[in-house]
Amino acid sequence: MKLDGKPIGQDWDRSGLPGWTYFSEELHELEREEVFRKMWQLVCHANDVPETGDFMTLDIAGERGFVVRGSDGQVRAFHNLCRHRGSRVLAEEQGSCGSVITCPFHGWSYNLDGSLRGMAVRNSFPGDVDKAQFSLKPLEMEIWKGFVFVRFKPSEQASVAELLSGFDEETAHYNLEDIQPTGEEVWVDEMPVNWKSVRDVDNEGYHVKQAHPGLQDLYGGSYHDEVFSNGTSRSVGVFREGEAALWSVKAYRSILPDATWLPESHRKAWVYIGMFPNLVIGLYPDSITFYQELPVSSSRTIQRGAVYRFKDEDRQLKVARYLSGRIDRDTVEEDQMLTVWSCEGAKSSAYDEIYLSDLEYGLKSHHDQLRSLIPVMNCTEEPAIGSVAKINQSMKTG
Ligand code: FES
Ligand SMILES: [Fe+2]
């Protein structure tokens, strides 16, 4: 087996992150700051906000952001934070605000470029207030092949385009800029687990055979993970030869048209692109998907995702998309159960260390990236209460 072009030897640390890192609220504070505020976060696709005033919001790690389409056609991103008293200016997850964003608290209003349009009861403020000082605060934003990413704090992380440059050739076949929302809203599930438990389950295909009858029937033993070193990963499952056993897989395989716009190797394959810390984009012959983990606390996580259709989808492809969505929904439910069980395990008094297979190298690679950002995660025992940030700082500088 090769990962990142290098064969894996017998000699690597198979123990994974220690149990305490899955329930320490102090550590979670560091994760919020070092990982989630400083790393690119996917909000939506630009085609989710096609018209002037269309918006999509994203809450993560104590931050609130949104993207909105301006009257000049530009997509912009802002903190979802009123400059009067800090209320959300957009309350829904998705919608249209027309030509003006009006804060639901006292009614300050903003133009779609973020500038302050009006202050309710204007004469209750001094006459010489400089409105320019009270624009919505912009967010750093990057659009990669239509996908809109934001970053809440500056960091040394490369641009999304650089991070995902290894996939330019592969993704070009799918015309990602043109994919369209299906009309169904972004799905959101909240789970009583640490976000890393969700990612750990997703970062390996070792469990597919045992835990995912649908995926096993679809692509069986061909599924494998490739791990790259720059914070991205790739996994691929090529459809099995022969008759499928499950009706959903059988129906999907028989209805799926020959995706002639894709290279031969991708016409009967599901490809997953992972981006550190919490995003997967799925490239299917019938649709494009994404899902991500949004931590709420050390012990609660929201999983959020969406499905997109190809621009020229015909009826047959639409049915195929519906059927692949069914297989995916079952997979998500199966994974969520495994996530809960493994996160519970990390809290058990009997949990000392785990023991990873070569097929779970993706976990190690993800854990390594976390440990390099937050070195206190190397501590096998939970540091004393109140000392996690301090120890982390001294490990960073020392
Ligand atoms: S908080 Fe927005 S108008 Fe007061
Ligand atoms: Fe899974």
**Minimum-distance ligand to the CA of 211?**
2
Summarised one tens digit per residue, pLDDT across range 242-261 is 899 999 999 999 999 999 99
User: Would you state the pLDDT for residue 2?
Assistant: 45
Q: Which stretches of the chain drop beneath a pLDDT of 70?
A: 1-8, 229
* 105 Cβ inside 6 Å of ligand 1: yes
CA 204 to ligand 2 centroid distance, Å: 8
Domains along the sequence of the chain with CATH: 1-39+178-398 (3.90.380.10), 40-154 (2.102.10.10)
**What is the C-alpha to C-alpha distance for residues 42 and 67, in angstroms, rounded to an integer?**
11
* 110 Cβ inside 6 Å of ligand 1: no
Which atom in ligand 1 lies closest to the alpha carbon of residue 106? 3
* 117 Cβ inside 6 Å of ligand 1: no
And the tokens for 221?
């033993």
User: Would you state the pLDDT for residue 185?
Assistant: 87
pTM of the model: 0.96
Summarised one tens digit per residue, pLDDT across range 162-176 is 999 999 999 999 999
Q: Which amino acid is at 165?
A: S
Q: Per DSSP, which regions of 168-231 are E strands?
A: 180-181, 187-191, 224-227
User: Would you state the pLDDT for residue 1?
Assistant: 41
Summarised one tens digit per residue, pLDDT across range 252-310 is 999 999 999 999 999 999 999 999 999 999 999 999 999 999 999 999 999 999 999 99
**Minimum-distance ligand to the CA of 272?**
2
CA 212 to ligand 2 centroid distance, Å: 7
Exposure b/e, 1-13, CB count within 10 A at least 16 = b: eebeeeeeeeeee
User: Would you state the pLDDT for residue 132?
Assistant: 93
CA 205 to ligand 2 centroid distance, Å: 7
| Helix residue ranges, H only, 174-225 | 195-202, 208-211, 213-219
User: Would you state the pLDDT for residue 8?
Assistant: 67
Residue from 377, 380, 381, 398 nearest 389 by CA: 377
| Protein residue with its CA nearest to atom 1 in ligand 1 | 85
Which atom in ligand 1 lies closest to the alpha carbon of residue 107? 3
